Amino acid sequence: MRGFEVQAGAMSGGIQSTGDFPGAARNIDELRSDILKAKSLIPGNHRLNLHEIYGDFGGKVVDRDEVTVEYFQSWIDWAKEHGTLLDFNSSSFSHPKSGSLSLANPDDGIRNFWIEHTKRCRDIANAMGEAQGDPCIMNLWVHDGCKDVSVNHALYRNLLKQSLDEIFEKEQPMMKDCIEGKVFGIGLESFTVGSHDFYTAYAAQNDKILTIDTGHYHPTESPADKVSAVLPFVKELMLHVSRPVRWDSDHVTIMDDPTQELFFEIVRADALDRVHYGLDFFDGSINRIGAYVIGSRSAQKCMLRALLEPRQLISKLELAGEGYKVLAILEEQKAMPWQAVYDEFCVRNSVPVGAEFIAEIEKYESEVTSKR
C-alpha cells in the first residue's frame, strides 16, 4: 500500500499529489489510524511502503543525510504490533538541494549529499528487514533530468552510474534494492537521466530488482508485456500499480484492462515468487481511506482473476494451433463468477463483502477525519 506523498516544503522533483479532500492525516498518529482503518476493510496480509520523509522525527529537524533507524523505530514497533511488514523508499525530492539533479549532479557536494542519504536509507531498510525477519524492499527513484534542451546526457548518466555503484557497495543481507526508471517528470520534460533503458541495463548487470511503474511509460506501451520481456534477465521485479490518465496522473487503481493484463502476465509467466507489487497513486481528490480500499481490493481482484484462469488448458490449445478455442475460453472466462470467490475471501478474513465497506468509510469520515 503506497500513495499520497505528504511533503514538507515546496513541491519539487517531478512529483506531486493532486487534490485536497478534507480530512488528510496531519501527523503520524492520524496516518497510522487511517492505515489501520483501511486494513480492516481489505482482506489478506499487507505490507506498508514508507518514504524516508515519513520518519518519526518528533519535531526535530533531521536533514536527509543525517537520518538513522532511530527515527523509524516507532514504525518498526507499530508494524510488528499490527502484523504488517515494512518496505522503504529514499526521498530525493522536496528539499533545498533537490533541484533538477540529485545523484547525477555535477556538483560534488550536492551529489555526495544524496549519496549519503541513500546509503542511510539502505541501512534503515536493512534494520527493518532484520526486525521483521523478512527482507525489506527499498525502491530507489530519483527525479534527475532537464526541463529544456540538454547536451550533457552522457555526463549525467555516467555520474548516476557512479553514484549507484557507490551506494550499492555495502552488502545489506536483510534488504533488497530495486531501481525505477521514468519517461519524464513534472518540470523535467525534456530529458530523464534514469530512463527505462538505463535502469533495465543497470539492474540486469548488477543483479538488482527492476521496478516497473505502470504510469511511467508512453500511453501506447504495455507495461504488462514488459514482465515476460525482462524476467529472463533479472531475478525479480517490483511493480508499482497505478492508473495513468493522460500519462502518469496516478489515479486510484481500478480493474481496468491494463491492470488486469499486468496480473495475467505475472501468473502466465509463472513468476508469482519473483514479482512484488505495490499500489502507487497520488490522488488526494477523493476520500483517502476510500482510495486505499478501492485500489487494494481492485488489485486483489485482478490477481484473483489471473489465478482462476485455466492457464494450462489455454497454453496447450495455443501450442496446438487452436487459436479460436483460446479466444473462446478467454472470452468465456470474463463472465465467470470470480466475484463469488472474492466475496468468500472477504468473509473468511472478516471484512465487508462487496460495497459494504462504503458504510464503514462514511462512519470513519463522520467520526474521525471530518474533525481534523
Catalytic residue among 5, 52, 177, 248: 248
For residue 217, the SS3 value is coil
Catalytic residue among 280, 283, 309, 365: 280
Closest CA to 129 of 172, 193, 83: 172
Q: Which member of 182, 226, 276, 301 is catalytic?
A: 182
| Active-site annotation holds for 182 | yes
Q: How far apart are CA 30 and CA 10, in angstroms?
A: 23
CA–CA gap between residue 99 and residue 188 (Å, rounded): 10
Which entry of 52, 87, 177, 180 is annotated as an active-site residue? 180
Task: Respond yes or no: is residue 148 known to be catalytic.
Answer: no
For the question of residue 180 being annotated catalytic, the response is yes
Buried b (16+ CB within 10 A) or exposed e, 198-227: bbbebbeeeebbbbbbbbbbeeeeebbebb
Beta strands in 204-284 (DSSP E): 209-213, 237-241, 275-279
DSSP per residue, 122-135: HHHHHHHHHHHTSP
Q: Which of 95, 143, 240, 301 is catalytic?
A: 240
Active site residue 141: yes
- How far apart CA 37 and CA 290 sit, in angstroms, is 10
Question: How far is the C-alpha of 175 from the C-alpha of 134, rounded, in Å?
Answer: 8
Cα–Cα distance measured from residue 24 to residue 16, given in angstroms and rounded to the nearest whole number:
15
Q: Which of 161, 216, 226, 301 is catalytic?
A: 216
- Is 176 noted as a catalytic residue in this protein? no
Q: What separation, in Å, do the N-terminal and C-terminal C-alpha atoms of the chain show?
A: 23
Q: Which three cell numbers stand for residue 297?
A: 481490493
- Residue from 52, 87, 213, 309 carrying the catalytic annotation: 213
Would residue 171 show up in a list of annotated catalytic residues for this protein?
A: no
Q: Is 177 a catalytic residue?
A: no
Phi, psi (deg, nearest 5) at residue 314: -65, -40
Is 63 a catalytic site residue? no
Query: For this structure, is 216 an active site residue?
Result: yes
Task: Say if residues 276 and 136 touch (Cβ distance below 8 Å).
Answer: no
Q: Which of 87, 144, 250, 309 is catalytic?
A: 250
What burial class does residue 60 get, using C-beta atoms within 10 Å of its C-beta: 0-12 exposed, 13-18 middle, 19+ buried? exposed
Q: Which residues are catalytic?
A: 141, 180, 182, 213, 216, 240, 248, 250, 280
